[in-house]
Amino acid sequence: MDLGKPHSVLPEHPPLPSFTPPSNKMTVFVIDNLPIRVEKIRAVFGNFYDLQVFSDGRKALDAMQKNPPVAVLTDDHCLHSCGFGIHRTKCNSSNLKHIPFFIVSDELNGPYVSGNGNGATDYFLKRPVNLEHFFDLVAQTTNKQVEDSWKTLPKQTSEALRTSADGFDMIAKAVANNTPLDKSKIFTSCNPLVACVQDGQIRHLLQGLKNHQSFIYTHSMRVAIFMCAFGQAYDVSKNEAVMLTTGGFLHDIGEILLPHNFIYKNSKFTPKELILVRHHVEESEAIIASIKDISPVVQAIAELHHERLDGTGYPHGLQGSEINELGRMIAIADVFAALTDVRPHRTTLEATAALDQMQQRTTAFDQDMLCLFREIVEN
């Protein structure tokens, strides 16, 4: 792919908005008077949600009426002993009944408001609770709330996000079940995204991804958006823009095969775990190579996204001229997205701080491309 001469100003398009990282975590209430249980919940949920803990249901109810959370985590013992009728009040309140309660119990059912349009479904988790399963259930529910909020965005952006989410879900299921991927369906997922970026809807796209807890999806989407914007700066053709965007969308697809606890791990990987994590590049290559008639551009993006010009990357340790323009672009887009993503095991950086950190690695990234990318991001 000949990217041509970069355009420092993008004609025919409005200036691109600043790429700000996700922030302002969604608020989740925890009603519990047992400190050890609260700490276990905090260890799993605290990096992803703004947890507000109450040992008194009366105070929780007052807070909930002022600033409703997206969910409430509690225990049926707490509801009986210190809940102050909060669940009953919630069920009967038009302002609160949309808030789902996640209730740890000895049973798998109880008084609840069904999800029939009149209120949120409540969930009962039978003791002993697997906290990973607990987190998944809460994340699925809050993700639905995020996706429902897409309806408030401009129609083009809303449809692009919905199409991409459905497409990524289709891809993830196919990968998990080892069934063939359909190239046309993948492009169907990416084409609306390209149109949004080219029509100056990037800010709305990034806003829509905030607080979504499907991290492989959100990271892949953000990289796809950045690759498309990168392509604009080089005035690539529509077909090339689709290839760049699709490559970004699929570059980490091998991560779907990683163990669940690796994706949500809130500490550094051990050396053995790191070997497994790094193997996602080969998995991504293999999955993409299996797609009939897929573009070599898409394949190269997945293959090269962790290579670095100074040879410190993986899996092949390529350096210098061994890494083509696609590899240089995806390295920048992927690292910038990673540094500004919300992840449990590292601090989320603002765009400027992330770019500063990348520019300090003078031998790892193509500095001319990085300067251009910075211009795109900060204009």
Instruction: Say if residues 126 and 106 touch (Cβ distance below 8 Å).
Output: yes
4 versus 329: the higher-pLDDT residue is 329
For 213-266, the DSSP string reads --HHHHHHHHHHHHHHHHHHHTT--HHHHHHHHHHHHHTTGGGGGS-HHHHT--
pLDDT tens string 231-245: 999 999 999 999 999
Q: Tell me the pLDDT band of 120, cut-offs 50, 70 and 90.
A: confident
Residue 279 above 80 pLDDT?
Answer: yes
Q: Match 């129609």 to its residue by tokens.
A: 155
Short-list 22, 21, 371, CA closest to 230: 371
Percent of the chain with pLDDT over 90: 70
Instruction: Say if residues 69 and 28 touch (Cβ distance below 8 Å).
Output: yes
Altogether, the residues listed in the chain come to a count of 379
Q: How far apart are CA 88 and CA 112, in angstroms?
A: 9
pLDDT tens string 121-172: 889 999 999 888 899 999 999 999 999 999 999 999 999 999 999 999 999 9
pLDDT at position 24: 65
The CA radius of gyration of the chain, in Å to the nearest whole number, is 22
SS3 state of residue 342: coil
Residue 323 above 80 pLDDT?
Answer: yes
Residue 11 above 50 pLDDT?
Answer: no
pLDDT at position 56: 92
SS3 state of residue 288: helix
CATH superfamily of 27-143: Response regulator (3.40.50.2300)
Percent of the chain with pLDDT over 70: 91
Q: What is the pTM of this model?
A: 0.88
Residue 12 above 50 pLDDT?
Answer: no
pLDDT at position 115: 67
**Interior/surface letters 5-19, b for 16+ CB within 10 angstroms, e for the rest:** ebeeebeeeeebeeb
DSSP state of 307: -
Determine the residue type at 275: I
pLDDT tens string 168-187: 999 999 999 999 999 999 99
Structure token pair of residue 168: 């990524």
pLDDT at position 283: 96
Average pLDDT, the chain: 89
Short-list 226, 204, 224, CA closest to 149: 204
SS3 state of residue 94: coil
The residue ranges of every structural domain in the chain are: 27-143, 152-378
379 versus 141: the higher-pLDDT residue is 141
CATH superfamily of 152-378: Hypothetical protein af1432 (1.10.3210.10)
Query: For residue 111, what are the CA distances in angstroms to 57, 84, 98, 129?
Result: 17, 15, 15, 20
Average pLDDT over residues 200-206: 93
240: CB partners within 8 A, 6+ apart: 1, 231, 297
Structure token pair of residue 42: 């905090």
SS3 state of residue 159: helix
pLDDT at position 379: 73
pLDDT at position 17: 43
Q: Tell me the pLDDT band of 21, cut-offs 50, 70 and 90.
A: very low
